[in-house]
Amino acid sequence: MDADRDGFTLCASTADLSQESAARDHADAVEFRMDLADEPTGALQSYDGDLPLIVTNRASWEGGEAEDLGRYDELTDAVAHDAVVAVDIELAALRGNAPDGEQPHAVALRETARDEGVTVIASVHDFESTPEADVLVELLADAAAEGDVAKLATTAEVKADALAMLAATHRASEAGHDVATMCMGEAGRHTRAVTPVYGSLISYAPIHSGAATAPGQYDLATLRRLLDGLGVE
């Protein structure tokens, strides 16, 4: 994966890199949730798996468990690792809409990542609702302006929310943006398999059922089967 890449990536999300071998049959990459790992830097330094890594150190104010600015130091070290092909940075941090002190660190991390040839995923998470399609399209455009891939995950309460995400995904993709989109929650669960049909370039799944890192995720093997059935490659 790089800033000029084509094609779809199925990403196995985990806080335990020793599980990488269990993901190889179904995943194209591993999202390493550093904020959920006990010793993320050490785990990354010893990683010798086959799958490339997306590193995420999600802030507590965006639904993760990283509590302070030290997460940027960990991510800066991570993007220098040969296996790391992408880094997830919250759009709010890049745009200055996050807690005090976040923006300079986020912008510096983005520049370091690009110097290393690492793709920047600018992400937005809404754990309460799904705005209307026009708002979603604007969010994706904002994220695409700050990163190489615009990631948007919202919470679907009704089926209409899922339809809004599908429409926004199609419109943003047709506008030339690289996007990764999904709805969290049961009402939007199917979007994890369907948004790639409309242009989403990345889907995420836990390696094993019961190990979800976000609400409404399918396990990896199930999502791979659904994507294959829809002809997503």
Active-site residues, by number, are 125, 151
Q: Is 49 exposed, middle or buried (0-12, 13-18, 19+ CB in 10 A)?
A: middle
- Distances in Å between the Cα of 23 and the Cα atoms of 57, 93, 167 are 20, 31, 31
Residue type for 218, please? Y
Contact 76, 111 (CB under 8 A): no
Contact 56, 35 (CB under 8 A): yes
Give the pairing of strands 53-56 and 29-33: parallel
**Residues of each annotated binding site:** 13, 31-33, 58, 192, 213, 217
Residues 6+ apart with CB under 8 A from 45: 81
Distance separating alpha carbons of residues 56 and 89, to the nearest angstrom: 7
Report which DSSP code applies to 34: G
**Residues of each annotated binding site for 3-dehydroquinate:** 13, 31-33, 58, 192, 213, 217
